Amino acid sequence: MEEFIYFFSFQDPNVLMVVTGIVLLSISTAMVGTFTFLDKKALVGDAISHAVLPGVCLAFMLSGSKNPYWIVSGAFVTGALSTYAITWVSNYTKLKEDTVIASVLSIFFGVGIVMMTQLQQTGNASLSGLDHFIFGNAISIVGQDLWVYGFLALAIIIVILLFYKEFQLMVFNRSFAESIGLPVKRLEFLFNSLMVLAVVTGIQAIGVVLMAALLITPAAAAKFWTNRLSIMLLIAVIFSVISGIVGAYISFVLPHMPTGPWVVIVLSLIAFLSFFFSTKKGILTKWIAKRNYQRKIHRDHILKALFAANEKGKEGLATPDVHANFPGKSFRTQSAINKLEKNNYITESQSVISLTQQGLKEAGRIVRLHRLWELYMTEYMNIAPDHVHDSAEKLEHIITPELEKQLDKNLNFPQEDPHQSIIPRDQDKS
Instruction: Give me the CATH number covering residue 192.
Output: 1.10.3470.10
pTM, two decimals, is 0.76
Instruction: Give me the CATH number covering residue 295.
Output: 1.10.10
Strand, helix or coil for residue 426: coil
Tens digits of residue pLDDT in 264-290: 888 899 999 999 988 878 899 889 989
Residue 243 lies in a domain: no
Same-domain pairing of 369 and 347: no
Same-domain pairing of 183 and 133: yes
| Beta-sheet strand order (sheet of 317-318) | 317-318, 352-355, 346-349
Full domain range(s) for residue 329: 285-355
Q: Which amino acid is at 40?
A: K
Nearest CA to 134 among 71, 196, 204?
Answer: 204
Same-domain pairing of 123 and 140: yes
Tens digits of residue pLDDT in 363-374: 998 999 999 989
Sorting pLDDT into bands at 50, 70 and 90, what band is 149?
confident
Same-domain pairing of 382 and 293: no
Q: Using the 3D structure, point to which of 175, 199, 215 is the last residue of a domain.
A: 215
Residue 130 lies in a domain: yes
Same-domain pairing of 345 and 365: no
pLDDT of residue 31: 93
d(CA 214, CA 206): 8
Tens digits of residue pLDDT in 306-346: 999 988 888 889 999 999 888 888 898 999 999 999 999 99
- Provide the β-strand partners of residue 352: 318, 349
Q: Using the 3D structure, point to which of 171, 190, 215 is the last residue of a domain.
A: 215
Same-domain pairing of 335 and 394: no
Tens digits of residue pLDDT in 4-36: 787 777 777 778 887 888 888 889 999 999 999
